[in-house]
Structure 1
């Protein structure tokens, strides 16, 4: 047994939703005691750092019900079953921003909330954006506004907590560290 491993004794499925599945696991701790763990199972997600030809970062503004407010984010979406992350990235970029690209570069991946969820987020970047021809049709339940900002404006938004989610903060810090935009 690994030093800190928790062995699952029993799993109780609580909820199977469209996006997440909730389960409660009873585990044996390294000291032999037992505990319960509430776990969210998630198929994974992808986000894109899109940069226009005039060096602006493309964000989307949308209402987030858990926060009860709208926030500015980089385009992102859930992986579909069996879908490669780069395919999801291109689809979400098109659906949410009205831009397409033939070049996406992988930046990194990370777990969003490892204390209770297994969601793995993949981040891509592109500076080869082309406007789509025609009307963009996204998800029926998504209402999105596209916002383009310079890196300095985005950093100001982070300071003001107008950009306030992990993936988007990461994107702004990444671009700042690289001196990209």
Structure 2
């Protein structure tokens, strides 16, 4: 990034090490040069990325999941999502995850964008897709995966968010994107599956 207008903000890697490598998390500790010449340590997680799907039923309701999330110690309400496999195209991942987790396939897909949910300690990017023209099939859950499907209206989700009952960051961003699209502010380009 040398020579850019942001150069006065950029930290530069001096040395790096892997602290832990697990199933899909890669924890790193780097020593960096700060813009003022001092040094600092940065600990962060490398993540392969993920896809979240906002599945729209024909009647306006949304397909959601209730799933126990161990780090939170409780069941969370979320849009369907899943980790990208190595080299996997995000749309293919979204189609696979929607089918596996919900049993639904979609006739049309629209890419909204990407969100970075924990920029202080992770490089994870979550691609946001919208899916409509849903057809129900059988779930194909991974071994050890347990979730419950529910449907909600946009107003119900908005109320749950306002009451602090729905707190998952990716789901809140999905709801925001959905509301902005419905208001005509954030357009989506729909493509056949």
Counterpart position of 1:65: 70
Quote how far apart the aligned CAs of 1:26 are. Answer: 0.4
Counterpart position of 2:101: 96
2:90 is the alignment partner of 1:85: yes
Counterpart position of 1:17: 22
In structure 2, distance between residues paired with 1:55 and 1:92: 21
In structure 2, distance between residues paired with 1:161 and 1:90: 30
Question: Deviation above 3 Å: which 4+ runs of structure 1?
Answer: none
Question: Deviations 1:27-75 (Å, cap 9, x if unpaired)?
Answer: 1111111100001000000000001111101110001111111110000
Paired residues of 2:107 and 2:132 also in contact (CA < 8 A)? no
Structure 2: tracts of 5 or more residues without a match = 184-193
| 3-state SS in 1 of match to 2:23 | coil
Quote how far apart the aligned CAs of 1:86 are. Answer: 0.2
Quote how far apart the aligned CAs of 1:102 are. Answer: 3.0
| 3-state SS in 2 of match to 1:157 | helix
> Map of 1:149-164 to 2, 5 A cutoff?
149-164=152-167
2:52 is the alignment partner of 1:47: yes
2:181 is the alignment partner of 1:173: no
Counterpart position of 1:74: 79
2:113 is the alignment partner of 1:108: yes
In structure 1, distance between residues paired with 2:179 and 2:110: 17
Quote how far apart the aligned CAs of 1:15 are. Answer: 0.6
Structure 1: tracts of 5 or more residues without a match = none
Which of 135, 143, 147 is residue 144 of structure 1 equivalent to? Answer: 147
In structure 1, distance between residues paired with 2:160 and 2:69: 17
